[in-house]
Structure 1
Amino acid sequence: MPKILKPSFSLLPFSAQKSALIPALSSVFREALEDGDFEFLQDKWLKISVTDLGLNWWLSYDHDRLIMASPDAAIQEDVSFSANGDDLILIAGRKQDPDTLFFQRRLKIEGDTELGLEVKNLIDAIDIDQLPSTVHNLVEFSANFIQNTQDCLKSAQQ
């Protein structure tokens, strides 16, 4: 799947990525944003890298909302999370534990360890059942599809 999607994403301008990502993340983390749970990210930058798609996003928190920096801004991140797209979807769909992927070296967390732990804990606290139905259904379908595909490939190799 990533090989098919990579050319499409590389052509997608930053403004389009930002227009899709910030509202989606704001929806997913609505309660956490309302409760001020992102204050630890104030004046700090989180870099998220989807390695197989060649995507990099720099996120922060300012004035009670998530913000995203352009790749041209040359932001120096305080912490970075990187993994392939399938693993990130499996994390979102609760099919894989981030700690397990971290110890398998499939999820890399680099930089400020304390900040990285706070981000991970915030992600772990998301109740997937509380997501808007379209987001919930898309994440659940994608995670199930990836998990089933991986299980079939493992069975075929044995």
Structure 2
Amino acid sequence: MPKILQPSLRFVPFSAQKSVLIPALHSIFSEAITDGDFEFLQDKWLKISILDLQLNWWLSFDQDQLIMASPKDNIAEDVSFSANGDDLVLIAGRKQDPDTLFFQRRLKIEGDTELGLEVKNLIDAIDIEQLPSSIHDLVDFSACFLQNTHDELAVANG
């Protein structure tokens, strides 16, 4: 992720982050939410940390919808996922497998192992083709760009 995004994203107010993130997640996971695939998160909290951007989000599921807690709520998460932004884009764009990144210690999953596995399986089940075309195109472009950059660096250093 460009370093210029680091300070600017970290200072985006929670209400603005929530007003973008929750509708986006509902759009991405609409079928899974309807099918009850998020019920395992009922009364549980998932913390997602984008390490290089110093962003943290706490998500749960209540009354058939995803909910987000403010950092001021001091939520004790049941499971946490943390990675750098580039790696999360690669996962979203299907250029990297979460298991591979986990074993390379680029994706950290801490806390309730069973809950973490359910979250990972839900992420794996995302069909990027079903995302709105603008989001799909942006994720696909970004993931391809990052993968090509990683590949070129590996060849140059290897």
Tell me the TM-score normalized by structure 2: 0.98
Instruction: List runs of 5+ in structure 2 lacking aligned partners.
Output: none
Deviation at 1:10, TM superposition (A): 1.5
| 2:125 corresponds to | 125
Q: After the TM superposition, which parts of structure 1 deviate over 4 Å for at least 4 consecutive aligned residues? A: none
Counterpart in the other structure of 2:47: 47
**SS of equivalent residue, structure 1 residue 18:** helix
Superposition RMSD in Å: 0.8
In structure 1, the partner of 2:103 is 103
State the partner residue of 1:29: 29
In structure 1, C-alpha distance between the alignment counterparts of 2:22 and 2:67, rounded to whole Å:
7
What 5-or-longer segments of structure 1 have no aligned partner? none
How far off is 1:7 after superposition?
Answer: 1.0
| Equivalent residues in 2 for 1:59-74, closer than 5 Å | 59-74=59-74
Summarize deviations over 1:35-77 as a string: whole Å, max 9, x none.
1110000000000000000000000000100000000000000
Q: Report whether the alignment pairs 1:75 with 2:75.
A: yes
Percentage identity across paired residues of the two chains: 78
Q: Distance in 2 between matches of 1:2 and 1:99?
A: 25
The aligned length equals: 158
What TM-score results when the alignment is normalised by the length of structure 1? 0.98
